[in-house]
Amino acid sequence: MAYQIIWFILWGVLWAVYFMLDGFDLGVGTLMNFVGKTDGEKRQIINTIGPVWDGNEVWLITAGGATFAAFPTTYAYMFSFLYSALLIILFSLIFRGVAFEFRGKVDNPNWKKFWDISIFFGSAVPALLFGVAFGNIFKGLNIDSQGYHGNLLSLLNPYSLLTGLLFVSLFIVHGALYLSLKTDKDVKERAANFAKKAFYLLLIVAVLFLIFTPFSTKLFDNFIKFKPLFLLIFALVASLLLIQFFLIKKREGMAFIFSSLTIILTVFTGIAGLYPNLIPSSVDPDYSLTIFNSSSSEYTLKIMAIVALIFVPIVIAYQIWVYRVLKGKVTEEEVVNDVHSY
């Protein structure tokens, strides 16, 4: 039992790290056509995430791999029940990566416009559908003894779309803050101003999410049973409000830190509310997939825990080193003069 709980926590941590890291580059891709006004500025924006976006997505593979290894039954059913949404996410992320590479290959306005639009949809669609997927998991799927009863349209219910909008607005603010730190001059100012305005959309969506969650899900049941968990929600609200506080103070670095913390706490709040479920059934709790009825053997979980204890810190240390090396700003001038840039 102990190893199932350990891997449930690790599963949540991996998803939190993924959304924190890939969240800002999905936000940057969504914002590129709104913040960048010229081709040079758009190239500047792409180059802020050019060296890191694919490394960020490694955490998605890690989270998926951990689900497969630790909770194989959940992995199998998740990719069956949410197949359409996950496939669209996968193709969107692939197309976005292609767009980054192909955009600068031909010096033609129509060619670049096509790939600019591709970058937007390849960033916004995964952000939305990740939220839709987790919104449905929070809500519970229509699972009974015969399996799952639903399709892509049934996944697009009001609560899951609200969760999708929460993810999109979180990533937009996160991406705008990242751009304000990594660029200069007009792009920096536009990004900071966009973050201030987008924050109010995020605040409205977050309030609606907190209001409708008790009526649409059973996420708060664990919080009611174990009152100290409410500290997560209080910390989440405080972190969210501090984003705008530091933006007003023009301390974008601190705002970005609290934006990162807000994403992490959002994931942790959802994970804490799900326990011990991984995919709850909205029909009958007996049909829910939990960390206990869908996990690998204890021996497998033990070996994996040892491997994770060794290699996850190494990966984290490597990524910290990468971001330290690439901590400088990206200017339009150096991008335009560098033929090897995006």
- Which pLDDT value is given to residue 268? 95
Would the pLDDT of 323 be above 90?
Answer: no
DSSP letter string, 50-115:
TTTHHHHTHHHHHHHHHHHHH-HHHHHHHHHHTHHHHHHHHHHHHHHHHHHHHGGGS--HHHHHHH
DSSP character at residue 183: -
The rounded distance, in Å, linking the Cα atoms of 97 and 312 is: 25
Question: Mean pLDDT, to the nearest integer, of 63-77?
Answer: 90
State yes or no: pLDDT of 327 exceeds 90. no
Cβ neighbours for 167, distance < 8 A, ≥ 6 positions apart: 19, 127, 128, 130, 131, 134
Q: Are residues 339 and 333 in contact, defined by beta-carbon separation less than 8 angstroms?
A: no
Instruction: Note the pLDDT of residue 340.
Output: 60
> How far, in Å, are 161, 205, 208, 281, 295 from residue 156 at the CA level?
6, 17, 17, 17, 28
Judge whether 259 and 223 are in contact, CB under 8 Å.
Answer: no
Q: pLDDT over 90 for what percent of the chain?
A: 69
Question: Is the pLDDT assigned to residue 337 strictly greater than 80?
Answer: no
pLDDT at 267: 95
Phi/psi class of residue 185: alpha, beta or left (left: φ > 0; alpha: ψ in -120 to 50)? left
If one counts every other C-beta atom within 10 angstroms of the C-beta of residue 277, the result is: 23
CA 81 from chain centre, in angstroms, equals 20
pLDDT value of residue 1: 64
Domain positions in the chain are 2-337
The answer, yes or no, to whether residue 318 has pLDDT greater than 90, is: no
Looking at residues 73-88, what average pLDDT do you find?
88
Sign of CA dihedral 232, 238, 241, 247: negative
Q: Contact 184/331 with Cβ under 8 angstroms? A: yes
Q: Tokens at residue 63, please?
A: 């989270």
> Mean pLDDT across the stretch 287-295?
91
The residue type found at 222 is N
Please list the residues that pair with 279 across neighbouring strands: 289
pLDDT tens digits for 159-192?
A: 999 999 999 999 999 999 999 999 998 999 999 9
Amino acid 339: pLDDT: 58
Prediction pTM value? 0.94
d(CA 102, CA 177): 26
